[in-house]
Amino acid sequence: MMVQKRYAGFGLRRGACVLALGLMACVFSAQANTFAVLQQPALPTAKAQRAALLGLTRAGERLVAVGERGIVLLSDDAGVNWRQASVPVSVSLTAVQFVDAEQGWAVGHLGVVLHTEDGGETWHKQLDGERAAALAVQAAERDADQPGGAGNLAQARQMLDDGPDKPFLDLYFSDRLHGYVVGAYNQIYRTDDGGRSWQPWMQHVDNPQGLNLYGIRVSGNDLLLVGERGLLLRSTDAGHSFQALKSPYEGSFFGLFGTRGGALIAYGLRGNAWWSDDRGGSWRRLDTGIESTLASAIELRDGSLLLASQGGELLFSHDQGRSFDKRQSRSGGTVAAVQQAADGSLASVGLSGVAADQDPRASGKP
């Protein structure tokens, strides 16, 4: 359900700081307020490796990072060297995912969804906030005679009037055709054709307050969402509907992931991380030993867990989160995302750019 009062006034102000995956980063220029960045390609820059970067993933053996001003960086040597890709927009990108070595998607501010078919070398825009709002209006008009339809239509029209000011913050694709993008104020859109068309999916989500959606991931046959104020939602019907779960925590969750053993880890503010081994039915708090916001988490190839914090701490666990071995990232600053490279080493990105975090515990063959 969309809530009109939560949309009002969300438009980006000149010079404002915005929340992206739990990181407060001033990554907008005055130009962003005109929305012209939706038509302006990302400018090549020799300083791209030091830009504020918010997302990191693998495309086969390649590392792909995304961040401010539409910057996309590619590395084919485990994060030692990077080059900038061709991107048709210069909005800040918040998250990226590949389903194989060629096909990938990235999302970002102003409702942008980008797609690549060549491993990230070139990208094209599939969706932006203007089109997303228009789709929401069309869907609401079709359902206007349903219970609550008039209110939903008014809220969708308010979205259209606001302009493309609402960011997407995460995405999940199960294959080359089927995926979701999620973001601010319960924004969620679904595609079944690789992003050629999108369906507004807000009315399928049990989120009556219109809380921000920060993360979406799969675990087994379940699809899960996390968000602000401890929001946890689960779909057991292939994403057709998302039902709220009882949350153990009132602070925001910025992400979650499912382990190979079927457990779930949700993480967020002030070092909070929670473990569930019953599909989100119950949770136990993990003693991370830190107060920094957790921004990224992955399972390494040896089955150990790695949590990365906004303060640059890397937390390794070899006992399913019962204890953690802490060390500092080589980035020396904020970590927004961490990834294991093809050679087993670690790479991270943050507000200071990219860093290679070589670690013997993450070594081995891919």
**Of 141 and 26, more confident:** 141
Joined tokens for residue 297: 């988490």
Confidence label for 11 from pLDDT (cuts 50, 70 and 90): very low
Residue 185 has pLDDT above 90, yes or no: yes
pLDDT of residue 357: 67
- The burial class, CB within 10 Å (0-12 / 13-18 / 19+), for 238 is exposed
Q: What is the mean predicted confidence (pLDDT) over 289-309?
A: 94
- Determine, yes or no, domain membership for 236: no
Handedness of CA 90, 95, 101, 103 (dihedral sign): negative
Q: What is the pLDDT of residues 118-137, one digit of tens each?
A: 999 999 999 999 999 999 99
Residue 155 has pLDDT above 80, yes or no: yes
Q: What is the pLDDT of residues 253-270, one digit of tens each?
A: 999 999 988 999 999 999
Secondary element (H or E) of residue 332: none
Q: Decide: 288 and 294 in contact? Cβ < 8 Å.
A: yes
Q: What is the pLDDT of residues 46-85, one digit of tens each?
A: 999 999 999 999 999 999 999 999 999 999 999 999 999 9
- Give strand pairing partners of 33: none
Joined tokens for residue 275: 């473990």
Residue 202 has pLDDT above 90, yes or no: yes
Q: What is the pLDDT of residues 76-119, one digit of tens each?
A: 999 999 999 999 999 999 999 999 999 999 999 999 999 999 99
Sequence-ordered list of residues with C-beta below 8 angstroms from that of 167, at least 6 positions apart, any chain: 18, 20, 92, 94, 107, 108, 109, 110, 111, 183, 184
Q: CA nearest 61: which of 329, 345, 288?
A: 345
Joined tokens for residue 179: 């995926």
pLDDT of residue 177: 99
- Return the number of other C-beta atoms located less than 10 Å from residue 124's C-beta: 13
Residue 12 has pLDDT above 50, yes or no: no
Q: What is the pLDDT of residues 165-176, one digit of tens each?
A: 899 999 999 999
DSSP H helices, 16-163, are 129-142, 149-162
**Mean pLDDT, the chain, integer:** 88
- Determine, yes or no, domain membership for 15: yes
Confidence label for 9 from pLDDT (cuts 50, 70 and 90): very low
pLDDT of residue 34: 59
Residue 240 has pLDDT above 80, yes or no: yes
pLDDT of residue 15: 29
Domain, as residue range, for 100:
1-204
Q: What is the mean predicted confidence (pLDDT) over 182-197?
A: 98
- Determine, yes or no, domain membership for 19: yes
| pTM to 2 decimal places | 0.90
One-letter identity of residue 363: S
- Determine, yes or no, domain membership for 57: yes
- Determine, yes or no, domain membership for 327: no
Rg of the chain's alpha carbons, rounded to an integer?
Answer: 19
Q: What is the mean predicted confidence (pLDDT) over 271-285?
A: 96
Residue 33 has pLDDT above 90, yes or no: no
- Determine, yes or no, domain membership for 30: yes
pLDDT of residue 162: 82
- Determine, yes or no, domain membership for 263: no
Confidence label for 359 from pLDDT (cuts 50, 70 and 90): low
pLDDT of residue 186: 95
Confidence label for 3 from pLDDT (cuts 50, 70 and 90): very low
- Number of domains the chain contains: 1
CATH number, domain containing residue 10: 2.120.10
Cα(359)–Cα(344) distance, rounded to whole angstroms?
Answer: 8
Alpha carbon 264 to its chain centroid, in Å, reads: 17
Confidence label for 286 from pLDDT (cuts 50, 70 and 90): very high
HSE, side-chain direction, 13 A CA sphere, residue 341? 25
Sequence-ordered list of residues with C-beta below 8 angstroms from that of 350, at least 6 positions apart, any chain: 23, 52, 53, 312, 329, 331, 333, 334, 335, 336, 337
Confidence label for 16 from pLDDT (cuts 50, 70 and 90): very low
**Of 143 and 61, more confident:** 61
Q: What is the mean predicted confidence (pLDDT) over 33-48?
A: 89
pLDDT of residue 264: 95
pLDDT of residue 366: 38
Q: Decide: 255 and 226 in contact? Cβ < 8 Å.
A: yes
DSSP H helices, the chain, are 4-7, 129-142, 149-162
Residue 6 has pLDDT above 80, yes or no: no
- Determine, yes or no, domain membership for 70: yes
